[in-house]
Homo-oligomer: A and B are copies of this chain.
Amino acid sequence: MHDVSANQAGSPLLQKYRQVRALSDRLCAPLEIEDYLIQTMADVSPPKWHLAHVSWFFETFLLVPFLPGYELFHPDYGYCFNSYYEAVGQRHPRPQRGLLSRPTVKDIYAYRAAVDEAMAELIEQQAGNRDVEALVVLGLHHEQQHQELLLTDIKHILATNPLRPAYRRDLAQVERVKLLPLGYQSFAGGIVEIGREVDGLASRFEDFAFDNEGPRHRVFVEDFALGDRLITNGEYLEFMTDGGYQQAQHWLSEGWGMVQREDWNAPLYWEQRDGDWWVMTLAGLQPVNLAEPVCHVSGYEADAFARWAGKRLPTEAEWELASRGIDSEGNFVDQDHLHPQPAAEATKGSGLRQMYGDVWEWTQSSYSPYPGYRAAEGAIGEYNGKFMCNQLVLRGGSCATSLSHIRSTYRNFFPPSARWQFSGIRLAA
């Protein structure tokens, strides 16, 4: 118990630091060493790369500039573990992250430990330095993002394997709940403010928002209605059996190109065995549960489903407006299901269920800068702004997101072709 009490020592920020970092370790605990290395496609990074990269982030943006006398843990790690920060120098090509056996997993845990030790020193030393604290907080939210990627990448790694190994066998089984009928809840439009005033980086973890969530600004929204729960596997199966994947008229042109080229005929991870649909989950291969939210669909599939259903996807402004006042409770990584759950009770204070957690909800909104948005100077400015092109916004978090990471204004973004995230569908009308 010595360690635990030691970890509880220190400032609130240091405690937060330890708490967030510990989750990365916990998420990797079920892995074999071999699982840490695999890159099944360019989008996926090996788990050991994630573990090293988030440490490199602290080392590069905090330890090197702010901790006097700090020496790099290894001179080549910058090259190996820089993701995309052009301002910080050359880096190993992304599609080749799976070609590196060294540094070993053990080396990387040693790297993490060394960074943690130095960070503890730095955090105490610089207590009250709001600039430093803000960067620590940014690093923690950055690590939370990679924790979600760890889970989605591990899932892809294990699902690609012909043995279909389970990540964990001890995840709570999904209870078969009675499916609630889909209804729509109406909202009045008008000029509304969305986004959040972001004046530099917050120095308290709880106050944090990414720069892409601001500035807070006015938009005009027409009256709209939102589906009161997520679309289920059962509903999606209707689309499939109605020929959804065979009929061009439901699809965006690029989506239809993907369907043809990639032979899509079901969500990612679904496979048919002897006529029944199964789905690969972090608990291994399972029969498809019709009451669960459909998951691992691309933006193209979400859009095609909506058109087939005579509806549409929400805009991000509609989603944000509707989410106001709803507690961000839900099925998050904290609940340790690691799989979307059927809609049960209405979310507190609202007729809308499953707004937070379970699956990221595709919107029809392109990921664009809010009016007045300007990226920060230097490497940190590369965090969000340079990706504002050819992506769609997703909202609400998933079963792989941390509760402390999500909020009403949070803008996640992926290209409409992406399927390996926990992404699903809520309709608008």
Binding site for B on A (CB under 8 A): 32-40, 76, 79-80, 84, 86-87, 92, 98-105, 157-158, 160-163, 165, 191, 217-220, 222, 248-249, 251-256, 300, 364-366, 368-369, 371-372, 381-382, 386-390, 415-416
Contact = CB atoms under 8 A, between A and B. Distances in A.
Which of A36, A38, A87 counts the most chain B CB atoms within 10 A? A38
14 contacts: A34-B37, A35-B102, A37-B37, A86-B248, A100-B161, A101-B157, A102-B158, A102-B161, A103-B163, A191-B191, A219-B219, A253-B389, A254-B390, A366-B366
A365 B102 CA distance: 40
A188 to B, nearest CB: 14
Contacts of A76: 162-163
A390 B364 contact: no
Given A252-B389, A253-B386, A222 B371 contact: yes
A256 B253 CA distance: 26
A101 B222 contact: no
Given A254-B389, A369-B364, A390-B254, A32 B163 contact: no
Contact of A191 (B86, B105, B220, B249): B220
A143 to B, nearest CB: 21
Given A162-B80, A252-B389, A34 B32 contact: no
Contacts of A103: 163
Given A99-B160, A218-B220, A252 B364 contact: no
Contacts of A220: 191, 218-220
A40 to B, nearest CB: 5
Contacts of A191: 191, 220
B387 A252 contact: yes
A102 B104 CA distance: 17
Contacts of A39: 99
Contact of A416 (B372, B390, B416): B390
A34 B105 CA distance: 8
Contacts of A101: 32, 34-35, 37-38, 157-158, 161
A219 to B, nearest CB: 5
Contacts of A415: 390
Contacts of A84: 253
